[in-house]
Structures are given as C-alpha cells and as structure tokens.
Chains A and B, each alone.
Chain A
Amino acid sequence: MPYRKLALGGACVAILVLVFSMMLANSMYHTAVMNQDPQWLLTQSVWSGHVRDDGGSLFRTHCASCHGNDSRGNAAIGAANLTDSDYLYGNGDVLETEQIVLHGIRSGNLRGWNLASMPAYGTEKPYSLYAVEPLSPGEIDKLASYLQDLGRLGGASGQEPDQSMSATLIEGSKLYASKGCWDCHGADARGDTAIGAPNLRDHIWLYGDGSRQSIAHSLTFGRHGQMPAFEKTLSPVQARTVAIYAWSLSHKAGAREK
C-alpha cells in the first residue's frame, strides 16, 4: 500500500516537473525568439528547429493561401516570391519583414505600407489620390514593349535610348520619362524599395509573366496588391517567428539570386 501511494505521489511530482519544465522551456524559447538576434537564432541548433517548425506551421495557416505552399508567390495576385533575394520593401531584414507581417501593405493599418499603388493608365481616372493623365492604347503598347525589353537596353543606369533601338522602344523610353513612371520606379527604372516600386530591369515580375500582354494589363488596369496586417491575429512571438521563417526561405543554399 505505501508503494502505491509513493508511486502516485511520484507520478504527480513528475507530471508537475514536466509541466513546469515545458513552461520554462517555452518561456526560454519566447525570450530567445524576441530578444536574440534573429539571424543568430537560425544558427543555433537548439532553437532553429523550433523556429522552422513553428514558423512553417504559421506560414501554412496564414500565408500559404497567397504566397503558395512552396513560398514562391502567386503572380496572379501579386503575392511575392519569398525564396528569392528580390525585396520590394527594404532589404529583406527580419525586422522589416516582421513589420510587414504586423502592419501589412495597403491593409488599412495606419502603420503599414500605404504609400502608393500602380495607377490604371487605361481608365478615365487612373489614380484616386491625385490627378494622373490617362494613356492611349498606342502609348500603353509602346511603353509595354519598352518595359519588356528594358533589361536588354544596356547595363548602365539612366542610359539614353540610342540609334540602335527601334522607333517603338525610343518612343517607349520617352513615354517613361515624360509620363511620370520615373517618379516611383526611378529614372533608371531600378525601382525604389523605400516605397515598394519594383525594379523594372531585373526580369522578376510580381504580376504576370513579363510578357508584353501582362505588362500592358498592369499599365492599363493598375495594380493594388494587398498584404494583410496580422497584428491582431498573431502574437508578437508568432509574428517574429514567421518573419524569421520567411527570412530563412531566401537565405538558404540555392536561393535564387537577384
């Protein structure tokens, strides 16, 4: 009889110790995730497995419907490929990614990226925030041809069109300079990560496949991609974890370079 009581008492103590240990480990994990350098975390075998597992699970639940189960994005809705090293906003740092996870892009959250969107140049009122002149179908075609070939038009930034280019491309480059495209995408068309304007010279397409037709569609109807704000959906630890996970996707061996 005393052995049974002893065994029962021992089991209770063991359960309590186990629960307490799990709570302690969880607390240590949360502290490590929030207080340690995120990139250092991934080099520590103690934590990296947890981060990848937790982050992967969160990603599949909240992110995969847009960014895809393979994290390679969805060009039909402008969800970015998270496995390459091309970043629309900032430089892809974990903390920047975390801010995007928390506050979103054009999400309505006041702390999110809400700076600009691509005007719809083929409509009567291309842009709601201020007056922008529409373009004609011919102008859109020329601009689309120019943008499609932009990567082949010489490596130097800001290169002026020369006599070797076709008349269409020369017209397209003039339209780029005169219709305000440079205002967001830069005079050299290399984009601006401070406002999320894509680089137009790198053959990485957020929407479509880089064909003249899909570029013309973007120019005609505009683009207003939206990333939700998960500030109220995810806890701070979860947001940091998924940001570290997303960062790790573009920083493993074999990630596609810019």
Chain B
Amino acid sequence: MPGRSHIKQARVKNNRFGSMNWTRVSPRRALILSGIGALLGLVVAGFGLFTSKGTRTFVVPPEDVAIVNNVPILTSDYDALLMATYNVSPAGASPEQRKTIIDAMINEELYVQRGIELGMQTDVIEVRQALVSAVEAQQTADIIAAPFNDEELKAFYQNHSNMYATEGKIQGRDYVAPDVAQAQLFLAQLNSTGNESAASKAAAMRQTGLFSDGPEFYFAAKLHMEPALFSVAQTLKPGMASRPVELSDGVHVLVMVMNDPPHLMPFDTVKDKVLRDMREKKSQIVRASSGAFLRRRADIIVTRGLE
C-alpha cells in the first residue's frame, strides 16, 4: 500500500533522539509538549507581572521621541518646540540642540507626573482651570471636527432665522419746537408746500443735530434717541414725517431720510456664522449631557442647606 511505504520512508532511525518516530501520532508526546508550552507561558507572564516595571515598551514608536513611565512624548511636539526654540528643522538641529529640547521635555513630563502624584490637580487653581478648559475642548472636539453639508446648515439657518438678521439702519432729520402748536404748524407747512426748509423757518423749528454724521445702526439710534422717539421713528418710511412727540426738551418732529429695518440675510452671506452657531449649539448640548453624565456616575454629598 502506498501509505505504508510512505511512512516507512519517513521513519527516523538511529538518530540522536533514538527511535522516535515523528510521523506517528503520540498522545504522550503531545501532552508533554503542551505542558512545556504552558509552563513557558506561565514563566513569561509571571516575569512580566511581578517585575517592578510591569509591562514595558522596549522600542520607541516612530510617532514618539521618548517614553517616560509609559507616557509618550510626541515627535510632533518635539519638532514644534525645536523649531520654536532654535528656528531649525529637526534635520538641521545640532546634537546639542536636540538634547536640550528632549531633556526639557522629559523634565516637563516628569514634573507633570510628579504633580499628579502630589495631587496638584486638586490644589492649584491654574491647573484646575486648565484641566476644565481642556476637558471641555475634548468634549466638543468631535463636533467641531465632524464634516457638515449645506442641507444641515440650511436647516439650522431656517430654524434660527432670528439670529441672521441685519442690524437696521436709520437716518432722519430731527426738529424740535417749544410747544405742540408750532410743531403742528411745521407739519401743516410741510404737507402743503413740501418744502422742509421753508416749513421749518416758518414754524421756527430747530434741528437737534441727530444723525448729523449720517445713518446710524438701530442699536446706536436707540442710545441717541429717547425711547418714545425711536419707537415712532421705526415706523416711518423715507420721506415721511412723524407726529409731534413730546419729550423733556421740547416737541420733536422727525423727518425720515432712510429707514432700513432689520431683515434676514441670504444664507450664502451668513454661511460662516451659521456653521459656527450650529457647532456651538451642538457643543452646548454635548457639554450639558457630559455634565449630567459625570454627575450621574459621581458620588456627590452636599452639606445640609446647600442641596
């Protein structure tokens, strides 16, 4: 039979292992070899477990320049610091420069680790503030880095259109009279002649100088005008004159020159603001839910009266 002839040919004779036949299935041999493998594994695991340095990387990966107590110092940080300190590229730096930078970074890492050991994240205000800022940034980094599309932006723009209105602009000529009668005379003259200058002379109206520098944004006009006058001014179209408005310094009549109320800006014009606002809104949601999650999993006890 071909099989038996093959086995005979493969038999090892008079070798240093005696008459061991490797082609023959031997449960005892399999058991011994498995046992040896298991024992070796236990020895390696025990060595790693019970030695003082624990699991240790012996090779620095290419993205790091050093590893300090298993904390990597990144190549990108090293390169940036080298450039910032000596204005040289990593390839152009001298050995002394490279050593100075790497030593400084190792010292910094050791001090940071020591600071954590000493609990400075609890005691030092600046460290705490920096940690809070860093965690907040971490929470929202994915949101800011996420790709977006125009449909998403347009939907946000339409749902928050009140955020994308122009600031209204307004300009007029403000006249003041000592009493209502003169103000009404001015209006009558204006309506009949259409000549504002003649009407103001006839009624002895005085210009207050409001809007003398040209148009103003609504927010500025609100600051420069009494509320009663501003609310009337908002309703006037260009060329219209207001009714007499009694204020503390006299009776005012406003002749409108230009009134451009706030209006919604086109999407394409405010796309950058929509993107930023959408990211900020999502970030707020993430921060709130992260805060809630941290509270849920924390064990917090508050003194009586401050719950």
Contacts and interface: CB of A to CB of B under 8 A. Distances in A.
A98 interface: yes
Contact of A27 (B62, B64, B216, B276): B62
A193 interface: no
B219 A226 contact: no
Interface in B241-293: 268-273, 275-276, 279
Nearest to A142: B214
A9 to B, nearest CB: 14
Nearest to B273: A221
A108 interface: yes
B102 to A, nearest CB: 14
Interface string A73-110: 00011100000000000000101101100101001111
B276 to A, nearest CB: 6
B6 A35 contact: no
A30 B137 contact: no
Interface string A58-71: 00011001000000
A236 B75 contact: yes
Contacts, number: 126
A76 B137 contact: no
Given A65-B149, A229-B137, A229-B141, A235 B91 contact: no
Contacts of A62: 145, 147
A236 B74 contact: yes
Nearest to B61: A30
What is the size category of the interface that chain B forms with chain A? 35 or more
A146 B253 CA distance: 36
Contact of B141 (A1, A78, A107, A237): A107
Contact of A137 (B74, B142, B169): B169
A136 B75 contact: no
Interface in A18-60: 27, 30-31, 33-37, 40
Contacts of A61: 147
Contacts of B271: 76-77
Interface string B67-86: 00000001110011001000
Contacts of B145: 62, 228-230, 233
Contacts of B214: 136-138
A107 B138 contact: no
Interface string B125-165: 00000100110111011101101110000000000000000
Contacts of B167: 122-123, 220
A110 B75 contact: no
A240 interface: yes
A1 B6 contact: yes
Interface of A: 1-2, 27, 30-31, 33-37, 40, 61-62, 65, 76-78, 93, 95-96, 98-99, 102, 104, 107-110, 122-124, 134, 136-138, 207, 217, 220-221, 223-226, 228-233, 235-237, 239-240
Given A2-B6, A221-B273, A239-B76, 9 more contacts: A35-B90, A65-B149, A76-B268, A95-B76, A226-B276, A228-B144, A229-B137, A233-B141, A240-B75
> What are the nearest 7 A-B pairs in CB distance?
A236-B63, A138-B214, A228-B145, A65-B147, A108-B137, A31-B62, A37-B91
Interface of B: 3, 6, 61-64, 74-76, 79-80, 83, 89-91, 130, 133-134, 136-138, 140-142, 144-145, 147-149, 167, 169, 213-217, 219-220, 268-273, 275-276, 279
